[in-house]
Homo-oligomer: A and B are copies of this chain.
Amino acid sequence: MVRYKATISYDGYAFAGFQRQPHARSVQEEFEKTLTQINRGAPLVVHGAGRTDSGVHAFGQVLHFDLPEKRDVEKLRFALDTQTPEDIDVIAVEEVGDDFHARYSKHSKTYEFLVDIGRPKNPMMRHYATHYPYPLDIGLIEKALPQLVGKHDFTGFTASGTSVEDKVRTITEASLKVDAAKNLLIFTFSGNGFLYKQIRNMVGTLLKIGNGRMPVEQIEKILVQKDRNLAGPTAAPNGLYLKEIRYEE
């Protein structure tokens, strides 16, 4: 048995999310179907690092799986890339030790969130950025962002009723770039893990702050009071990208 790590990108638009589920198209199921073909019909299971939601995209999702025999990694990558559907691409495949686990090996993640601030929107980006056509003071968002950086209890930014007990996470980067030519805001968030809907709730809150309907200090208030009702709305999934996963050592 040889363990392989694969880095993949996908267009989340036509998927009900990463994770396998009945009666819905998932990235995991499509990848497993292809892997099973390559494994001469013997079913195989893959483990993903991040369970992206319906409509969320990925440029650097990481998976691992075991094959009964050693393979040439570039041939394996090419076979997986060409045999998966056109909305999944396989960027890299490498052999890893038995102790590597895409989800449980220690890692940090980077997400990007794209906001189309054009009026009207860019029709080519309607599945790939969230349209926000209201006035925004970028300076207010830039003042709010640093409050997210550091070790915090993010209870106020996750969906209520999540089963995860420990809601303390560390954010190492929370930044914003403005691509004026393309009317795009590009948020970047890096950290050791993110709770369910955390980034979409943070972005929804930041946009409300930029629109002047919440004070800049609201972020700290949400973190301290741990109350989801104090945060802004959940931003749509179409702007969210799982960008990169970095494993330790």
- Of residues 80 through 115 on chain A, the ones whose CB sits less than 8 Å from some CB of chain B are 81, 86-91
Known contacts A89-B120, A90-B120, A91-B120; A126/B11 CB under 8 A: yes
This chain: copies in complex: 2
- Docked complex Cα distance between A155 and B144 (Å): 59
User: What residues on B are CB-neighbors of A87 within 8 Å?
Assistant: 123, 126
- Of residues 126 through 158 on chain A, the ones whose CB sits less than 8 Å from some CB of chain B are 126, 128
Number of interface residues of A (CB under 8 A): 19
Tell me, rounded to whole Å, the shortest Cβ–Cβ distance linking A142 to chain B. Answer: 22
User: What residues on B are CB-neighbors of A90 within 8 Å?
Assistant: 120
- Docked complex Cα distance between A11 and B120 (Å): 13
A10 contacts partner chain B, Cβ-Cβ < 8 Å: yes
Contact of A57 among B9, B86, B124 (CB under 8 A): B124
Contact of A124 among B91, B121, B128 (CB under 8 A): B128
> Is the beta-carbon distance between A9 and B89 smaller than 8 angstroms?
no
0/1 string, A1-31, CB within 8 A of B gives 1? 0000000011100000000000000000000
User: What residues on B are CB-neighbors of A88 within 8 Å?
Assistant: 123
Tell me, rounded to whole Å, the shortest Cβ–Cβ distance linking A96 to chain B. Answer: 20
A122 contacts partner chain B, Cβ-Cβ < 8 Å: yes
- Docked complex Cα distance between A123 and B126 (Å): 15
Tell me, rounded to whole Å, the shortest Cβ–Cβ distance linking A114 to chain B. Answer: 10
Residues on A facing B (Cβ under 8 Å): 9-11, 57, 59, 81, 86-91, 120-124, 126, 128
Report the 6 A-B pairs with minimum CB-CB distance, sorted nearest first. A89-B120, A11-B123, A89-B123, A81-B120, A87-B123, A11-B124
A–B complex contacts, Cβ < 8 Å, 22 sampled: A9-B120, A9-B122, A9-B123, A9-B124, A10-B123, A11-B123, A11-B124, A11-B126, A57-B124, A59-B122, A81-B120, A86-B123, A86-B126, A87-B123, A87-B126, A88-B123, A89-B121, A89-B122, A89-B123, A90-B120, A91-B120, A124-B128
